Structure 1
Amino acid sequence: MLATKPMFIALDFPSGEEALSFLDQLAIEEVAVKVGMELFYKEGPSIIEQLKQRNYKIFLDLKLHDIPNTVERAMKNLASLGVDVVNVHAAGGKRMIEAAQKGLQEGAINGQKPLLLAVTQLTSTDDEMLSEQLLIQEEMEQVVKHYAYNAKQAGADGVVCSVWESRLVHDICGTDFYTVTPGIRMENQHNQDQVRVATPTVANEQGVSAIVVGRGITKAEDPVRAYHQFEGAWNNGNETTIS
């Protein structure tokens, strides 16, 4: 299980050397980190091993989406890395999610299975993209609720969604079903390529289980100060402006 209300720092760096250098600069113990495609595809399992040696909690964010058999075998391998959280795309359907959980159980180390999250809709997706590009005619909230319900029925431990759908997910899936939300920004920060964004204070108010913060910390002039500001706003609703 995850610690209460974790805040994952997205290590979106082109190399392991840069990611570890950043963490050395941050110099904060018990930080939870997210390793995505960019870093993992560059460094492979070695970056996970190095992060584990430093006792970081790790969310391995690879968003698997393939036929059930392939996902099951891939998840068995990912579970053997000893990470804490992994994910798939909910659009892969119930059979794929069930296969993912089976693979994680088979590959778990000492019975410690990673939590499985299902990505509902990326925070870069809006209603216009849903209808015009993906040919999904339902509104975002309905799509996320339906995907979350399917994920829970298939045995997932939670979902990745935006802050704005977290309460809806908990209403239909229960408060013990994790909602992990990227797209976290302070009021004065640019949205960049994400559209369904919110502040850490709003995430707290919406009952989110865990947040993911990337460039707001990693690209800040003073990452240590930025980290503590995000953490304070997330845990206490005490939001201050990052300049």
Structure 2
Amino acid sequence: MNHNPVYLALDLPRLDAAEALARKVAGHIGGIKLGLEFFCAHGHHGVLQMHKVGLPIFLDLKLHDIPNTVAAAMQSIHVLEPAIVTVHASGGRAMMEDAKAAAGENCKVVAVTVLTSLDEGDLSTMGIGESAHDHALRLADLAHSAGLDGIVCSGQEVGAVRRQWKDGYFVVPGLRPDDGKSKGDQKRTVTPREARDAGASVLVIGRPISRAEDPLAAARAIEGTL
């Protein structure tokens, strides 16, 4: 079994290019993360095609709607056999409970807390007075009480969440290697090793591999730091 915690984020516009990249680096990653952009462009067919690479699939759909709608959406993706699916913690306890109840037996449901593209200034404009750290911990408590498997949070919060949720499953995006030239649209970043040491279960890495001059060498280098 592959215990590499790195899930490669693949939101390439062309399905053949996404599959080719995944196959190229498959020996140095632990899974494939397919987000909303990929799912809207390629649908069920695209996910089933990516399954052929032979790695677990993380469907990062960030479902957020009334409980019945989210439950129905979860049921509709059973055939895709995802290893992980995301919902938004801000959808509330009932929505998260129904999402977990409707998920496949082997699917982990994790709740997005505070997007790594947001900081305190962004939260303030949305009427949230607490820090990103405190708000993430509050939503983690809600997800835990709703029976979810874990949460998505930044590497800056995962250590604190791990201390209060010992057996949780923690997905950390927004990761940049030490030599990362740009954070892109991420504001709260750490390195993959820092996130792993803090207790991350899954490390989501996209551009540092997918946009590298040599994706295979980049994936190998990241794997070597873990």
CA displacement, residues 104-145 of structure 1 (integer Å, 9 cap, x when unaligned)? 1xxx3xxx33100000010000011111x2110011111111
Q: Does 1:148 align with 2:125?
A: no
Match of 1:128 among 116, 121, 133: 121
Match of 1:56 in 2: 55
Q: Does 1:182 align with 2:150?
A: no
Q: Does 1:113 align with 2:106?
A: yes
CA distance in 1, matches of 2:94, 2:74: 14
Conserved in 2, the CA contact under 8 Å of 1:48 and 1:83? no
Q: TM-score, normalization: structure 2? A: 0.94
Matched AA of 1:128: G
CA distance in 1, matches of 2:45, 2:116: 29
CA displacement, residues 18-47 of structure 1 (integer Å, 9 cap, x when unaligned)? 201222333537741000111111110111
5+ long unaligned stretches in structure 2:
none
CA distance in 2, matches of 1:171, 1:29: 29
1:44 partner SS: helix
Conserved in 1, the CA contact under 8 Å of 2:4 and 2:30? no
Q: TM-score, normalization: structure 1? A: 0.88
Larger displacement relative to structure 2 (187-196 or 58-67): 187-196
Alignment size in residue pairs: 225
Conserved in 2, the CA contact under 8 Å of 1:26 and 1:224? yes
Match of 1:167 in 2: 159
CA distance in 1, matches of 2:170, 2:29: 21
Match of 2:204 in 1: 212
The alpha-carbon distance between structure 1 residues 147 and 3, as it changes in their structure 2 partners (threshold 3 A), is farther
Conserved in 1, the CA contact under 8 Å of 2:28 and 2:219? no
Match of 2:11 in 1: 12
Conserved in 1, the CA contact under 8 Å of 2:75 and 2:102? yes
The alpha-carbon distance between structure 1 residues 215 and 29, as it changes in their structure 2 partners (threshold 3 A), is closer
Q: Cα RMSD over matched residues?
A: 1.6
Conserved in 2, the CA contact under 8 Å of 1:30 and 1:55? no
2:170 partner SS: strand
Match of 1:40 in 2: 39
5+ long unaligned stretches in structure 1:
236-243
Matched AA of 1:198: V
Larger displacement relative to structure 2 (40-49 or 26-35): 26-35
Conserved in 2, the CA contact under 8 Å of 1:33 and 1:58? yes
CA distance in 2, matches of 1:12, 1:232: 24
1:167 partner SS: helix
CA distance in 1, matches of 2:179, 2:73: 40
CA displacement, residues 132-169 of structure 1 (integer Å, 9 cap, x when unaligned)? x2110011111111100100100110100000100111
